[in-house]
Structure 1
Amino acid sequence: MRTPLNDTKLYTVGEVAKLCNISKKTLRFYDQLGLISPDYVSPENNYRYYSEKTLSSISIVKYYKQMGFKLSEMQGLIGKPSYFYHESNFVAKINELTAEQKKIQNELIQLHDWQRLLQEARMISTQYSDTISVKCLQEQTYCSLDQAFSYDYRESILNIPWTNYLQSKKQEITGPVVLKFNSYLDKYHGVSEQATIIQKPVSCEHPIPNALTFGGFFVSAYHLGPMETLNEEYPKVEQWAADNGYTCGPECYERYVIDYWSTTNPDQFITEILIPITKKCATK
């Protein structure tokens, strides 16, 4: 169509939709947003028409969408005479996407760690439930918080003060909850009144609150079933260490592989008991 006003070739909404591979509904939405408006509206039938120059702007919109811009963020971008305006918007979008990338990466770390816990639980429950062994854990820095302990495992694991504390420090964690007890004998005999909850930080972007180094050589044993029966494992571990020439303790760690975060069935709980060990010196 050529208008009598400027003799410019114009295209109907249907023609634009076909040429630019977009729907008529999308084209109308662009108009409502003030993003791409028709060059001419017929006073007789209210039909909308677009020039070739306006059609080319649709390619710009598509490319902006490809770069992550929302339609609402494109208002005012098309047709700006200065490229400095575009540069400032690109910098803002780069910063936004970089922050989103970090967030997604942290979420992936947490999901992978949880999946690995489930895989560990499947392996232990089917193959190695009665195994006691020496384990070497690479030293890593964990977040920690000292708390009262009353043998209420649910309260210690689904730990509201802990999550609030981490939130106040802007710290995200991953992996299982681990409780450290200063005396494995006190824990075994049911008289522990204090524990330190520790978990691995997702990243070191923020200072790690109450940083605690966890790692080294341990005697390891898995307990399957309710946590109230955990103490049954301690004499077995102690005897195994003595039989193999190791000295235990003094502290111990309980690493909750499958717990209240994963199931409501206590019979499916899996807890790893970790007690630091040193080799006894041979006597002459």
Structure 2
Amino acid sequence: MLSIGEFSKICSVSTKTLRYYAEIGLIIPDEINPENGYRYYSIDQLERMLFINRLKSYNFSLDEIKTILESNKLQDKKLYISLMKKKKEMERQVQEYNQILNQLNDDILNVKQGNAMMSYLENIDVQLVEVPKMNILYIRKRVHEYECEDEAVRCFNQLVRRVIDNQLTITAPPMSLFHSEEFGELGLDYEFALPIKEQVTGSREFHPHLCLKTVIRGSYSQLSSVYTKQIEWAEKNGYENNDALFEVYVNDPEQVKTENDLITEVYYPVKKKEKR
């Protein structure tokens, strides 16, 4: 048997943490002396503690770890799925940090060369174009910020299944329309759409008319900068927003090697401001 101090030292976990883990049922001392309350752990529990520490290093929450420990086998299918899910989350985080690091390096270079840190906005191209009428198959719903990516995948998959099941003809890449200006308690008013040739149940006519258009190559993190540039362009040239903003995803994120290969068209419907 190992005292709580010995167990703490071997596993690099504080005694305070071990007491908390016992409270929540994560790892309970094998024996507690009824006279003095001293806690003792068995040798067999060392492996359990190492397993907990390993999952913590992968950013599993204590609730997630407890659920895994309560399963019949540690190496079962549920554990495998949990590890794969965590792996994808960490890969996404690494990508995001790499993007931030690249952006930071660009900003450092700009400042070093005596340029304004926000001078990159000058390289964003804005064009005034007339977008023709189209027919879209759509799903419109409220989506919370944290679920946007997963919800987009689900909705576009549903739309593609409708196209296949009904033998419809896709005429352009998938797109998202944004009908509300901000995230509320119920989320953002999203419309996921596929332009199609036919008019069927679940489709509608969409004609944005005059739009500001910007094509970006690379991460979706650039989108806020594009919206800023388009709004500034509209204000400077006497235009105002006239309909829902929308994005067209020219290529599939699942089919590109890196985010740098992504191509997105951003549209900001406008009309000429009325003279007062």
TM bin, normalised by shorter chain, reads 0.3 to 0.5
- TM-score, length-normalised on structure 1? 0.46
> Which structure has the larger Rg?
1
TM-score by length of 2: 0.47
